[in-house]
Chain A
């Protein structure tokens, strides 16, 4: 890696893995995650003189990453309306399903969430950010975070209702 600044190089080295995995969970696609992180680092590198002086350069970098991811998801959504339709369908199906209690089904439900809702979930439950921190990362109010989180959890809860034990029906 060419030297932007020794601190930047160290920052990238220390945080690249986390940024990649966060991007992966938000974008739900490994290649897109890589591209997002690449774009993000370009932007951060250009302003590293200022960002490096920040108290929490990682928090700022995450904001850049999230902003890029959500914008990219919007762009992709416009281009690939059919995929969004599918996602909506899956979400609708998930909402109507009960008894899905496997990890895989929960992941499917996560994948089907709208990007902004999934991002909130990732920030809250993967990065363990508080609502305030999540709001700061998304550049929105805590009310918006709560709303998105609530909607997302409602969808996921539908997909996570534990299967009730089978009830025996006695025929007379």
Chain B
């Protein structure tokens, strides 16, 4: 019996392993810069991107190098993201200065390169402050906590051409990725880092250009929970302390109109039917919101219309921003920034 089971087990494992499409993954992994000392790591963007060959020569002209990195400072506790909030606030000047100093100390040259440009957005969530910098074609992101000690830098270089300015009521679902909190980034041998500190957390962030008429952006998850983004200077940014991918994004215009769009699948590849939104990013840098599904109708809340980018509504409906809840904390909040 055992022999039969073991034989069957070997066959089943071999069959299942063979079913994995490892070639694409291997190709992506072989393109990565693994140079020792490189700290462009820990963003999982590479495995979510369309394959390079899919970018045509014409598109290449539009391609810009965008560098994103995340600096996460260790709290040294298990609750690496304790105090995170689904609704952003505006950081105080001293807190912002401290965050910037922490980013500079931890990020070193990487940070310096990314922040030679303009600070376009600050996003405070509880004890965490995120900053988004743009420098021509570069985007830099730094997330710090209020402890300001220790930490690591992660990131990948990415090359995209997504950053054309969107129309007034458009939203560019441009960038995003995930990062790993410190405490394990520089783990040593497989044994000496086992469970050490267990301070590792994870995060997903999303950012992009927001049209001039966009006042608020909210990511909606499959369980109905939401995370409000910060919207400033024509950019939006949000992050959350887990690896959940949002199901849709909702934008509210300054006139109160709510627009929504499904998020592209994390595994989308250009050209496949189910991933037309993602493929659309290639040809149309600014994604018109409203091409996806509408938010779920709620009792007492009129269903908002979803106009196309080319035909903005002449009048704005009075859709009330639905309650927002954290996917991890269950907080009820209003949309926008407090």
A residues contacting B by CB (< 8 A) are 1-4, 8, 12-13, 16-17, 20-22, 24-25, 30-31, 33-35, 37-39, 41-43, 45-49, 60, 63-64, 66-67, 71, 75-76, 79, 103, 106-107, 110, 121-122, 125-126, 139, 153, 156-157, 160
Contact = CB atoms under 8 A, between A and B. Distances in A.
Given A35-B44, A79-B243, A126-B10, A17 B26 contact: yes
Interface string B164-197: 0000000000000000000010010111011100
B323 interface: no
Nearest to B34: A45
Given A4-B35, A153-B2, A103 B11 contact: yes
Contact of B13 (A20, A31, A46, A125): A125
A1 B33 contact: yes
Contacts of B8: 103, 106, 160
A66 B31 CA distance: 23
B267 interface: yes
Ranked 6 nearest A-B pairs via Cβ: A67-B190, A45-B34, A2-B33, A21-B17, A63-B190, A126-B13
Contacts of B28: 34
Interface of B: 1-2, 4-6, 8-18, 20-22, 25-26, 28-38, 41-42, 44, 46-47, 184, 187, 189-191, 193-195, 200, 202, 242-243, 266-267
A20 B26 contact: yes
A46 to B, nearest CB: 4
A48 to B, nearest CB: 6
B20 A3 contact: no
Contact of B191 (A1, A107, A121, A139): A139
A93 B289 CA distance: 45
Given A35-B47, A103-B15, A153-B2, A8 B9 contact: no
A75 B191 CA distance: 17
Nearest to A75: B200
A38 B31 CA distance: 11
Nearest to A17: B22
Contact of A25 (B16, B25, B266): B16
A139 B14 CA distance: 24
B184 A71 contact: yes
Contacts of B10: 125-126
A38 B187 CA distance: 15
A38 B35 contact: no
Contacts of A46: 36-37
A51 B125 CA distance: 41
B6 A125 contact: yes
Contacts of A21: 17-18, 20, 22
B47 A126 contact: no
A144 B57 CA distance: 55
B47 A38 contact: yes
Contacts of B2: 153, 157
A122 B20 CA distance: 15
A45 B242 contact: no
24 contacts: A2-B32, A2-B35, A16-B22, A16-B26, A21-B18, A25-B16, A34-B25, A34-B28, A35-B47, A38-B29, A43-B187, A45-B36, A67-B193, A75-B202, A103-B12, A106-B9, A107-B12, A121-B13, A125-B10, A126-B13, A126-B14, A139-B194, A157-B5, A160-B4
A33 B20 contact: yes
Contacts of B242: 79
A4 B1 CA distance: 48
Contacts of A122: 13
Contacts of B184: 71
